[in-house]
Structure 1
Amino acid sequence: MTALGKVADGLRTFAADVAQGFFEITHNSFALVGLACVFCVLTLTARPDLRQAGETRLMSWLQSRQEAMVGMPVQLEAIDRATATDLKDLPKQQAAVAYWLSKKYRVAAEPVGALVAEAYDIGERSHLDPMLILAVMAVESGFNPFAQSPVGAQGLMQVMTGVHKDKYEHFGGKLAAFDPVSNLRVGTKVLQECISRAGGLQAGLKFYVGAGISGEDGGYADKVMAEYSRLKLVATGRAVPLPAAAPVIRTIAPLAVEPAPVAPSEEKIAFVSVS
């Protein structure tokens, strides 16, 4: 064998040894990684507290990285808290009502659409016309979920939170008055009770606004009934003009209990709660 052949043979042997060594090292490394993974899985299975802590730290790190990139706090689940729905997802009748209300009261159609859908749902369960519920909401707050009157009526349906705080306990507390859906549900319950107690719709509306005793509601019941009539026409597909609208801000302070006889010198209008 020539010197060149010996050199070539030596290089081949060297390359084969290097490849074999690399294979052995890689094989052993993968085996070690596999064993480590199995050990970690067994450990996390046996210690769920460690798994939860690790997941929390990882999610926190990923969120902080994302916030650093976008320059503001990130909450991907915020969409689940939004009171809004695409009008395309609503039945034709509900979409028409939501569109008309959004134009009249100059509010976004998507949140109004969600409220219309909720009014239909809660109206069916409470045996109240959803158009009546929406009419009360329109006159009371003009669809402002953060509205508050001087006497403490709050939210879309201007429920007296202090009077009906027991009803808000089912929604986590009195601050739920500013959650549109919670306020709608509580307000509908109060409206249902007022109509039942008064024995009729017109009288029930007077109870709702706090004029059940005096009967002087400042035209509130007439305003609600007028809006109720318009909404019923809209729901049937009729074209209804869009007059200017101004919500009624409640100035009558209701009481939480049956009022005692009032002396002639005391000028006081009381709402009788039926809760």
Structure 2
Amino acid sequence: MKQATRINTLARQASGAMFSIAHGTVLSLGLMGMAYVVGENSAPIAVSYADTRAASKAGPTVGEAAMALSVADRAQPSLLAPRQATPGLSIPARATSSAALRALGTPGFGLDGSADGLAAEEDEGLSPEMARVRDWISDTYRVSGPALEPALMAAEDSAEEHGFDPLLIVAIMAVESSFNPRAVSTMGAQGLMQVIPRYHEDKIGKRQGRYALFDPELNVRVGTLVLQEGVQRYGSLQRALQYYNGSLKDPHARYTRKVMAVKKRLVTASGRELLVQNQNKARAEVLAAAS
């Protein structure tokens, strides 16, 4: 009886040992399987957590990158593309969405390089560029930002229609009236762009009243037409500006230089130069991802 009990005890111990060995073997095989990925007819490749994490962030394919760049070109024409309406002049197109590039994880065209930089700054009616100009003018000339908006929107619309840079139109306003829509000169020039009514009745319209040019939108529209008339008559922007000021005989073109100096400050305030740099950087990164 004691011998039978001892045999049963030894059998249980042996089976327990075999179970432990089998369990250890299965566990070892599982760990080996986690440590190696073995492809068909290939040597084992060690895989780490960092490798799998990096692999999940696959870059765009050549086709995806090319498509994104193509869409971006169609959606965002060059800021320096010349308008055909007025030869020799160029204006920037309003900034538009960079969703195609953003979908591929490329930098956006905001001033800070973020994908949503422009979207955050968009103002209803004004382009993001002109919204920044409005804020700069408001601080520099101590005028109301909301009161400026009709004139700035008119500058964008009139400039686009006639082939000018809208910041040029804004620069003329700054020089002529310091953004005072009720300004009147000793020569009878009126409003933001200091248009003399008796010389430009054809542009103002016969049905307009004697104070019509105090309307910012009409004043900007008529002033832009006067500048366009100068370009058509004299063939260059410099001569057109001197014509606008009535100083064609000035050999030093001082009025032109004054306007262009203000325009340069407006360009800086608008963030246009930084915007172009970010666009070029984004293009380069898309092309690099495609190569």
Instruction: Tell me the TM-score normalized by structure 1.
Output: 0.51
Partner of 2:176: 140
Partner of 1:200: 236
The answer as to 2:281 corresponding to 1:231 is no
How many corresponding residue pairs?
153
The answer as to 2:94 corresponding to 1:94 is no
> Which of residues 142, 145, 151 in structure 2 aligns to 1:109?
145
Is the partner of 1:101 in helix, strand or coil? helix
**Structure 1 residues 108 and 87: alpha-carbon distance in aligned structure 2, compared to 1, 3 A threshold:** farther
Is the 1:209–1:217 contact (alpha carbons within 8 Å) kept by the matching residues of 2? no
Is the partner of 1:148 in helix, strand or coil? coil
AA partner of residue 230 (structure 1)? R
Moved over 3 A (4+): 86-91
Q: Bigger relative contact order, structure 1 or 2, given CA contacts below 8 A and separation 6+?
A: 2
Partner of 1:221: 256
Gaps of 5+ in 2: 1-121, 275-291
Alignment of 1:175-190 (within 5 A): 175-190=211-226
Is the 2:155–2:170 contact (alpha carbons within 8 Å) kept by the matching residues of 1? yes
Gaps of 5+ in 1: 1-85, 240-275
Partner of 1:173: 209
Alpha-carbon RMSD: 2.3
Shift of 1:225: 0.6
% identity of equivalent residues: 42
Distance 1:217 1:171 in 2: 39
Partner of 2:33: none
Is the 1:94–1:113 contact (alpha carbons within 8 Å) kept by the matching residues of 2? no
Distance 2:123 2:180 in 1: 19
AA partner of residue 209 (structure 2)? G
Partner of 1:209: 245
Is the partner of 1:197 in helix, strand or coil? helix
**Structure 1 residues 197 and 89: alpha-carbon distance in aligned structure 2, compared to 1, 3 A threshold:** closer
Shift of 1:174: 3.5
**Structure 1 residues 89 and 199: alpha-carbon distance in aligned structure 2, compared to 1, 3 A threshold:** closer
Partner of 1:130: 166
Is the 1:96–1:237 contact (alpha carbons within 8 Å) kept by the matching residues of 2? no
Q: Which structure has the greater CA radius of gyration?
A: 2
Shift of 1:182: 0.6
**Structure 1 residues 235 and 199: alpha-carbon distance in aligned structure 2, compared to 1, 3 A threshold:** same
Shift of 1:166: 2.4
Is the partner of 1:162 in helix, strand or coil? helix
Distance 1:173 1:225 in 2: 33
Alignment of 1:47-66 (within 5 A): none
Is the 2:173–2:192 contact (alpha carbons within 8 Å) kept by the matching residues of 1? yes
Shift of 1:88: 6.1
Is the 2:150–2:216 contact (alpha carbons within 8 Å) kept by the matching residues of 1? no
Is the 2:126–2:152 contact (alpha carbons within 8 Å) kept by the matching residues of 1? no
